[in-house]
Structure 1
Amino acid sequence: MTPAIPLVLLALVDAAFSGFRAYAGSDARIRKHRATTRAALRGLAVGAVLLLAPTLTAAALLLTTRDQARTYNTLTVGGLGYLLPLTVYATAVLLSLAAYFTLPFRASTLAMVIGLGPLTLLRPFAIAAACLGAILNGGGGSALLVGATAGAAVLCVEPAVHRRWYHHVL
């Protein structure tokens, strides 16, 4: 099984949330469903473009190596190691979101404050743990290079969306 598909899906969902976070707090209107949807789609679009960097990095590694099968296997093993910490992180985020959407107002606010807020701040650490997981699982330098490139791409979505569309709002 190639871990590329779940990793791309996680990255794109994260990009949509990054677009939302870039917009969040910049609009005091009560009804802003269209604006939040547009912000999420902007994040998704920027994320899709930025994910070309790790894709091209992996392709370059595969095209320039003498043993493509070995490099592919190394990247696959590293990708699985990269996926494990991100799956744990994504599960924690999904549990916090579920609590936010299903609990009464006060409890959902608490879920936001103690769950989603700190988890947003822990995103870079989750990516660092994923890079470490790629190495520890046997991915080596090539998996670390692709993983670090992917992590940098994902972390750049929110600032890019904010700078392009929302910097003047604050």
Structure 2
Amino acid sequence: MAPAIPLVLLGLTDAAFSGFHAYADTDARIRKQRAVARAALRGLAVGGVLLLAPTLTAVLLLLTARDPARIYGLLSAGGLGYLLPLAVYAAAVLLSLAAYFALPFRGSTLATVVGLGPLTLLRPLAVAACLGSVLNGGGGPALLVGTIAGAAVLCVEPAVHRRWYHHVRWGNLGG
């Protein structure tokens, strides 16, 4: 399944960023590289576990199908349709990150405000990826796997926050 590898890589990358985002604004220290890395690894771990759900769903669909080759074809077509909206989103995020790291302070702040901020709000639009999987000919099997994958990815940040960062309140920063 050709689109499976890029989709898994995108999902795991998003999970790492979700771990970071769950941690963001919970620590007022200036030097916090280790905490940021730990938060990203926590997101990666949670995302890896949650992404087993769509993987197992696809495997079960293939194992229980009367015509596994047909289901495989539907899942491949759906995966490509799912990948296109996510690739556009990922390209926009990478462009914003490149601007953030390459520009001086004012420019990187602008990249965050104009690019990364609004793009975070667009994450729940994983529905577009599900729609893309159906429109590309994936049908019901691709929609099922895609919906489970979208739900899994969107659950990473709340799960990481609830497990490790729920106790942090603004009044606790720095103490």
Question: In the alignment, is residue 166 of structure 1 matched against residue 165 of structure 2?
Answer: yes
- Percent sequence identity is 80
Residues of 1 paired with 2:143 and 2:103: CA distance? Answer: 40
The answer for the alignment partner of 1:68 in structure 2 is 68
Residues of 2 paired with 1:141 and 1:74: CA distance? Answer: 9
The answer for the alignment partner of 2:139 in structure 1 is 140
Report the alpha carbon displacement of residue 63 of structure 1 after superposing the two structures with TM.
1.0
Residues of 1 paired with 2:65 and 2:43: CA distance? Answer: 34
Q: Which runs of 5+ in 1 are unaligned?
A: none
Question: In the alignment, is residue 152 of structure 1 matched against residue 159 of structure 2?
Answer: no
Residues of 1 paired with 2:19 and 2:6: CA distance? Answer: 20
Post-superposition CA distance 1:23-71 (Å, at most 9, x none) = 0000000000000000000000000000010011101111111000000
1:12-161 map, 5 Å: 12-125=12-125, 127-161=126-160
SS at the partner of 1:168? coil
Residues of 2 paired with 1:131 and 1:51: CA distance? Answer: 16
Residues of 1 paired with 2:118 and 2:57: CA distance? Answer: 31
Report the alpha carbon displacement of residue 169 of structure 1 after superposing the two structures with TM.
1.0
Aligned-pair RMSD on alpha carbons? 0.6
Residues of 2 paired with 1:71 and 1:129: CA distance? Answer: 22
**Which letter maps to 2:61?**
L
Report the alpha carbon displacement of residue 107 of structure 1 after superposing the two structures with TM.
1.0
Residues of 2 paired with 1:60 and 1:163: CA distance? Answer: 30
**Which letter maps to 1:34?**
R
Q: Which runs of 5+ in 2 are unaligned?
A: 170-175
TM-score, length-normalised on structure 2?
Answer: 0.95
**Which letter maps to 1:35?**
A
SS at the partner of 1:116? helix
